[in-house]
Structure 1
Amino acid sequence: MAQIKYWLFAGFLLALVLIGAFNPARAQAIDLAPFDAGQPLIGGMQILKEQPGRALSVADLANAHGWQPASPGNVSSVLRASTTWLTETVSNNSPEPITRWISVGYWRLADVQMFLLDPLTGQVQSHMHAGLKQPGSARPLTLPTMESVFPIELEPGQQVQMVLRVQSGGWRTIAVESWSPSSYLSALQQTRMLHSVIAGIALASIFLLLLSRQRLYVLLATWLAIAIASVTLNLGYGIPVLSAWLPGKSLSALVATLAFWNSLFLVLISAVILGLDKRDFWRRVLAGILVISVTCSALFFFIDTLWVRRILTIALLALLAVLPIMLWSARHRIPHSSSRLMVVLLGLAWASQAIRVVAFATNWLVDYEKPIYLANVYSQVAILLLIIGHVAQRQRERERQMEHRAKSLERDQRVQLETLVRQRTTELEHSMLAAQEATKAKTEFLRHVGHDLRSPMATIMGYTEMLQARIVTGSEASRLAVIHRTTDHMLNVIDDLIDYTHDAGKDRIDPQPVYTGWLIDLIAQQARALAETNANQFVLKVENALPAVIIVDGKRLRRILLSLLDNSAKFTHDGQIVLHIRCQLGANPDQVSMHFMVGDTGCGIDSDEQAKLFLPFFRGRSSQGSPGLGLGLRLASTWVQHMGGTLHVNSQPNHGTEVTIELSFPIGQERDVQPSETLGLPPVDIKGNGRRLWLVEDIPEVREFLADWLNRHGFVVLQSPDGAAFIKTMQTTAEAPPSAVLTDYSMPGAGGDAVLAAVRLHWPDVPVLLLSAHITARSSSDQALTPGFDAFLPKPIDFSILAGELSRLLDPDNTLLKPSSKDVLLTDESTNHESTPSHVTPQSPHSQHTRATAGAQHDAAPPQARLAELSRLVEEGALTDIEDWAQTLRTDLPEHAQFALEVERLVEDLDLHALNKLIAQSQ
């Protein structure tokens, strides 16, 4: 009896154990707190598959039989529709509430439902619905993916039983993973970015392959396009769009067709690589395969989905079975190692694809599905790369064969070829001589073109100078000055064009000390004239103090900025053009960084044209109908780079353009400025008539140059090296008041303000002209900066402006600027009738030598025929021809050598007015 009780008790315990084993609700709970990065949950779940024709509900699960641990092998349903139940108890063992997203894949699962049950009572707490049949708006989470995702929120210590009902069309295994929301979204974004990159590379490869127009490459491009489309649909991209206008059966047929044609094109490519496409038997076989493929593809759209999958599996296996036969047939046509490697890769790709098809059909090797899939993908990529290399190698082989045939032909016809070579050698020598002559002719042509382009401009400049000699004040003088400077700018543009033709380099940069204010004012005056052509307003903005002198290729910088300003003026109407200059000293006190910005409010530049701005001869759509060659920005950018700077363009359509230049220059000294750099315009004809001027300047070179110019125009110049010496001389000697005082502003000891105060004290009626490089013409209009001075001239001195100011201050009737009927010859008595202190040096008028020379030339004038020829050349502005005329005169008639030298000097100074006067005096 005791034994019976013992066995009854043991049976009762065994029953409890068995009930616990088959009751899914008793499974140990899975803590979801650490499962936040896509950890799989299948391994801890229980699975139950519904029997065909027997539908289960959630309430039936507790009493259902057949629950077993889930694994990759028993969660798949291949080639048949099925309904699978999965369950697991999940919990939150962390001290904080958590939210987890449970993803259920594959996306092609037809219907996925999640039930959240109370683990103790079994009551349904939540029911969510997803799957391919559910539209995106009806799913628990609206995400940019076709995958089924369910949210679960758990409080600390809470447990819940998760039940999944998955209705599958028999496509693939089911994957259940746990994510945190941020991890899922991040992984989704990274996956999409990776897919986008791969798709971009594939599309670029397709484009390049199609460009080759070779049969094999076109097949490769088509295969790649089909593969991309197949993979895209398998990943779920485009499914919402296709589902909107394709029924489910048609969508499945489309996916199957793409998969089938992917393998079909692999067969065709293999046949081409192995050379079987040139054999009649295989050409008929391939044609039959194509016919069967088209028939199967059309059949897919008219039969049930399950039959589509079955037929697809059979067709793929039949297609893949062709591989061994193809390899055996082409075994003697694979002599090269690259071809043999190609065959190995083809075999690997076909083997992996065959294994995938068989495993898909038989649910075999489910655990190795991903490695097999990757092996298939990698082998196909390797095939693609190797095919390209193989084709290149075949091309090289064909070239070597052609070379070998050429050498054989050369050996067979050596005598004939030697004769031909000699003939060709002679022809090449003649061609080389012709090319050398053409190069020489090109150089000569460029020289003459430069001469022909410069000559008309020189004529304009010459006549402008003649008018400036008569009109030196008022608006007419300003306009003439603008004409002169603009003409000079055109000459610079011509030089730039020739520089570009000669491919000018960095060695053409010629940095020299230049007055900063003068250079900016010169650019601003011409920019203002350019802006006015289309009724624009020009604005000059100078930020921070400018150094008086910088070492720069002033002509080149001026050309660069005026080219940019000219572009702004051409494409801006009734707007504003700005030149903004910012100066900044760096760590090196002898170096200054300058920022130039040319901006406008014009039409702007389209974004698609901005990358082409620096191409030579490029003209955008907005420049059609505007003058120009399209070289401005190209030359500006090239010269800025040669000067060690950078140039950037920022433009928006209909919002204007800004061109920014960053350059760095050494700071120079005023004493280093060459006299040629102080010449703003060619000299004008002014008559000093012996008037006395006092020049106060601390830079010896500038002082001597100004004194020489004034002396040559009939003034008597007294000089002082600085303000202190001038004041001392004025106070200690009984010097008569001069007609005017010209003084610098910044000088050691006593500056221009001290000179002004001393003159106002001793000679109240004597005008004082301020000469300075530290105050620009822009600021000179502000009387607070130049108080008390009668006139201001920025350095370098513009002699046409100086002549106008002297005429205004000394002779309001402008008699100084009116050329007299006879030249005034200053005698020694007229120039030295004043007593001169020991430290003040009056300069003997250079006009004595000039006028005496002119008189000698008039007495020994060349023949009238020669003078008539010279007059014609002057009228045409042919400066180079005038120089040739003078050299010929000096050679043919040595007694007129002095006259020829005077003509050459006047041509060098571009003083056509004086040259006309010399001809008139000699006739």
Structure 2
Amino acid sequence: MLFLCLSWWTTHSLAAGLDTTGQQSQRVPALNQVQVFEDVSGKMGLDDILALSTGNPRSFLPMQRDRLKPGFTRSAWWLRVVVSSRGSTALPLVLALPDARLQNVDFYIGRGGRWTHDGTGPADLPSQSSSSRYPLVDFTLAPGEQLLFLIRVASDTALTLEPRLYSAAAYDALEIRAALWDAGLIGGTLALAWCALLIAYFSRSVSFLVLAALCAMTALFEAADRGYTKVYLWPHATEWSSRSVTVFGCIAVLLFIVFILRIAHDEKASLPARYVLFGFALLECVAAAGSAFGNLFVFAQAGMYVNALFGVVTVVVAAGLARQSTPTARIMLLTMVFSLFNFALRMLETLGSLPSGLAWLKSDIHPNPVVAIIGLATNLIVLAAWINHVGKQRIAARVELADWQRTERDRLRDQVAQRTLALNEALLYAEEKNQQKIETLGYVSHDLRAPLATISSYAKLLLHLADSKEANLIHAIERSVNYQLGLIDELIGYAKAELQPLDIVPVATDLPALLDDIADYAIALCAQLNNQFHYQALTSLPRRLTIDGRRLQQVLLNLLSNASKFTRDGIVMMTVRARRQDDHWHMGFEVADTGIGIDIEEQSKLFAAFRQIQSVNGSTGLGLFIAQRIVNTMGGDLSLSSAPQRGTSFFFELAIPMTDDAQASPSNVVPYSSSGSAQFRPRRKHRLATTVPPESDRRELAILAKDGRLTDIEQWIEDMIRIHPSGAAFLAEIRFCVEALDFAGIEALALAPHETDDVSPLLT
């Protein structure tokens, strides 16, 4: 629509201009005496030209049609033009050469035997040339006057020698019409660049960004070719005005090649002669750089020949694309065809070889704007087709994305349903197995408790008939039975609570007696790896506390067991301290050893269930986990201090309410030695004889004690008395532990170190 309106407007403007020029056509003289002379040396001046004789064959010759466009030449061309007036009034006239690329044009005017100079070269730039697109001279021809013009033209660009004479009014009308056409052409090309730039911004498309640059460069080329850049952008840079036409033209062709390659890359289309196009792109870069900074005469010709050859290659590429049926190939084919059509149309118009059927494309405006606007219209068609293609691609992509999202959503929903079903089934299976384990533990506990309860009942019956010595043995049996029953209760409790400790039941507890019992167990544990055990009371200790003694014993024995397992030939120490604050005893317990220690990385993971530092003695790693849970339940916090090869220390503190009797009687506090520590000694102190059974026999005894095989131990004692009578003292100690059912003590005595012919205390 814009093109139609512009055509209507310019057509009416043209008609109006023709009316004006028609009114003056009778008064404007015609250029019927135009002669041309080629200065091959390019150094002849005005005096040299005037000295040429008229009959000299090397002098001026009538201008023929083939001499109007000499093309690229290093010669200087002289035009001899005679303008005469036959009218009765003075005529304001304009003599112009309508080619904005000409570099040096000098006008010499002969009037009454005198010559005046008016030039457009860089050395002599007239005032009027700064506001005119073409080299020209305006003058006033008096009635009956005849003027002789000598025009010297020299340029590194292709020459077009076609002088035209206008009246001043006709020239102004022609410039107005040219401005209308050129404004539509350049403005439309810039509008294309703006549209492509907007599309590139919103679609994040590099191809449209290249297209925007291509349109902008084409607009600059058209403006430079028509002389508008010389007037408005660089009016005093005559040389650059000539160079810029070739530079902008080569860059525009380069961007067109990049645009085609970019489309092929984005659409993954098979482009024929792809590497040939890369070669042409490189040649265009060389031609543009050479035209800007090098010899314009050489690189302007090179650019023209490269562009002509590229037109031939475009035909080959278009033929290759015609064989592809993809939408992208069709769009690229359309782009190639229209670009080739525009290039061919411009070349025919430049060479003056338009067919008679295209005579309506001719124009008196130079360069021909009609041909250029037809090229703009074809570019609009290509842009519209490409936008339509991209729009269809985006719609198809959105549809495909929506289908994929719907399919993926259904797949995820099915997968989640399957996983949920599998998890529910696994949860039900785990719950069933857990229930079965709990039931199994209940059955086992029932079967274990029944014989133990029977033993306990018979022991109570025997207690009434026993003497004092037998009563001690029966009490030992009761203690062992009660201990076994407690272990069974622990097993059931842990299974039901999933490794959580049972509830704490504080009762009045004899603290010194509890610590003595713990020390008895610790002695046996430490003897297994030849460790020394020390117990220290760092402060006075209360005799009775309201505490769950069984849980406290469980915590300390777990800590002592770990200390003895990870220490060899070292020391294990248990220290206890107490301080009174308000109505509470703050009891501190610490178990330290000189063992292997723990890395700092492992300390944060130490209290996890089933966590082991090393695989030692078949340990499961539950001890510290259970101890921590019990201490936390009792209101304390189990802390750790350790370093590799420097031992380990566990410490916790409990706040325990004071009992009524402890508050009433100060005698309930056990004093400690003046040094602040009292080394623990067992209630029964024995010394080992120098003669003991061999180590192999003692190891056999340790295995029997660990398994609790009482009858076999008694048989072992009888055998050793018969085989090694000199070890009577050692065997008497073993028999004493058997009577007390102290299997841990038997194991400790069997594994204790012994030296021949030396009497050393077992424990200190």
Pairwise same-fold verdict (TM > 0.5): no
With the length of structure 2 as denominator, give the TM-score of the two structures. 0.42
